[in-house]
Amino acid sequence: QQQVKQSPQSLIVQKGGISIINCAYENTAFDYFPWYQQFPGKGPALLIAIRPDVSEKKEGRFTISFNKSAKQFSLHIMDSQPGDSATYFCAASLPSTGRRALTFGSGTRLQVQP
């Protein structure tokens, strides 16, 4: 059962454009929603994260928008750069003590063309 659905699978954006990646979750008990960025041959690295008590969080060119009623959240990359070309994963975790394991989406491969 895929609890976090991510779209699109791949995305091509021109330099300077806005990249938008969407995720939908099923379990309303999730309370932490991070986005990870992964370059080829590397481990995922935390990009930005949000909790469901806020609707938006911004860090530099990266923004998470969160819609609790729709059970959806999205990553917006403003002024996309070729260096942003990577695979992006959304994730979610439960507030279980001692666990905090992440449930990941299937990933979006972003290519920013110069």
Partner 1 sequence: DAGITQSPRHKVTETGTPVTLRCHQTENHRYMYWYRQDPGHGLRLIHYSYGVKDTDKGEVSDGYSVSRSKTEDFLLTLESATSSQTSVYFCAISGTDTQYFGPGTRLTVL
Please report where in the chains the tokens 């959240």 appear, as a residue: 73
In the complex, least distance from residue 1 CB atom to partner 1, rounded to whole angstroms: 9
Compare residues 10 and 55 and give the one whose CB is closer to partner 1. 10
Specify the stretch interacting with partner 1 by CB under 8 A; choose among 14-22, 52-60, 65-73, 94-102.
94-102
Asked if 27 and 44 count as a contact pair (C-beta separation under 8 A), the reply is no
Rounded to the nearest 5°, which phi and psi values hold at 108? -130, 125
Count other Cβ atoms within 10 Å, centred on residue 67. 13
The residues binding partner 1 (CB under 8 A) are 4, 6, 32, 34, 36, 41-46, 49, 89, 91, 93, 98-107
